[in-house]
């Protein structure tokens, strides 16, 4: 098994890296997504319904408040995706919006 410069093989490093992504990092990233309509983060607005981390992939579901304008939640979802992609070791991000 070939080792990289850090001493980990590609397979072992990938497994080890997957353990480094945690809910706290994702929550911190989501708390920086601010709704300019409400002047609060999407976390403070309780828009974050689910966060699932699968290896190096992060899946988030947002449920906007009833008074949120129709296209705006999708804009917030795009901002959330950009924030999460900045987390080290995240390879894939998917943010879905559930409208009532």
20-55 tens-digit pLDDT: 688 899 999 999 999 988 899 999 999 999 999 998
- In percent, the amount of the chain with pLDDT more than 70 equals 79
Domains and CATH numbers, the chain: 10-97 (3.30.300.130)
Q: What is the reported pLDDT for 2? A: 40
Tell me the C-alpha to C-alpha distance, in Å, between residue 90 and each of 34, 47, 96.
Answer: 21, 22, 17
CA-closest candidate to residue 65, choices 33, 100, 94:
100
Q: How far apart are the first and last CA of the chain?
A: 51
- pLDDT beyond 90 at 93: yes
Q: Whole-model pTM?
A: 0.76
3-state SS track over 43-79:
CCCCCEEEEEEECCEEEEEECCCCCCCCCHHHHHHHH
């Amino acid at each position: 098994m070939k080792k990289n410069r850090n001493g980990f093989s590609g397979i072992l490093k990938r497994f080890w890296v997957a353990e480094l992504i945690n809910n706290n990092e994702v929550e911190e990233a989501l708390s920086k997504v601010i709704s300019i309509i409400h002047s609060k983060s999407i976390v403070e607005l309780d828009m974050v319904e689910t966060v699932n981390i699968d290896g190096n992939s992060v899946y988030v579901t947002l449920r906007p408040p009833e008074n949120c304008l129709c296209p705006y939640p999708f804009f917030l979802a795009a901002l959330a995706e950009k924030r999460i992609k900045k987390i080290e070791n995240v390879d894939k991000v998917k943010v879905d919006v559930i409208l009532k």
